[in-house]
Amino acid sequence: MKIVAKQEVARIVQVLKAAGKKIVFTNGCFDILHVGHVRYLAAARQLGDILIVGLNSDESVRALKGPSRPINTAADRAEVLAALAVVDYVVIFDELTAANLIETIKPAVYVKGGDYKLEDIPEAPAVVAYGGQVVIIPAVPGRSTSNVINKIGATNCEC
C-alpha cells in the first residue's frame, strides 16, 4: 500500500536506506490535483530513487488556507496522489509544517515548488542540519489550485 501511517514511514525509510535508496521528500496540500502538481512531482521523483509525499491533513489545510478548504478530503487527496506512478508513498500529517516528518525521514533531498524562496521554507533548517539538500522546482506558470477554484467560481457552476 502506498498510503502509510506516520509510524510506519520510519520503518519503511530505514529499510529503503539500508538498501541504498536515495529518498526524496516533498509535502503540500495537493487539494485539486492539476498538471502543475503532476509535473512538479515528476521532477521531484527524478532527483532520487523513492518519492515520499507528505500530505497536509484536512485540519492543517484549513489552518493554512482558510475555512473553505480543503475541497477534497485528505483520504481522497491521498488516494489520488498514490495513483500517480511517480509517487512511492504518501503520509498524512497534522502539523502546519512537515518538520517532524523530515526529522523522521531525513530525506537526501527535500523539494518545494517555485512559489517558495529558500529563506521562506520552514523545513529548510532541519534539512540542512543533517546534511540534506533542499531543491526548489520552478512552478508551472498559470497552474495552481487557486486558479482552478477561481475559474470554477467564475462560471457560477452548480457542479
Task: Give the SS3 label for residue 3.
Answer: strand
In angstroms, rounded to a whole number, what is the distance separating the alpha carbons of residues 64 and 87?
A: 24
Tell me the pLDDT of the chain (159 aa) as tens digits. 899 999 999 999 999 999 999 999 999 999 888 888 999 999 999 999 999 999 999 999 999 999 989 999 999 999 999 999 999 999 999 999 999 999 999 999 999 987 778 889 999 999 999 999 999 998 766 555 555 555 555 666 555
pLDDT score at 156: 62
pLDDT score at 50: 98
For the chain, helix (H) and strand (E) counts, in that order, are 7, 6
Q: What contacts 92, CB < 8 A, 6 or more positions away?
A: 3, 6, 54, 55, 56, 57, 74, 78
Residue 134 in contact with residue 127, Cβ under 8 Å? yes
In angstroms, rounded to a whole number, what is the distance separating the alpha carbons of residues 89 and 101?
A: 13
pLDDT score at 63: 96
pTM (predicted TM-score): 0.89
* Beta-ladder partners of 25: 52, 110
Q: Would you give the end-to-end CA distance of the chain in angstroms? A: 32
Beta strands of 31-116 (E only): which ranges?
Answer: 50-56, 89-93, 109-113
Task: Give the SS3 label for residue 71.
Answer: coil
Helix ranges restricted to H, the chain:
6-18, 35-45, 58-65, 74-82, 99-105, 124-129, 145-154
In angstroms, rounded to a whole number, what is the distance separating the alpha carbons of residues 30 and 104?
A: 22
* Beta-ladder partners of 110: 25, 134
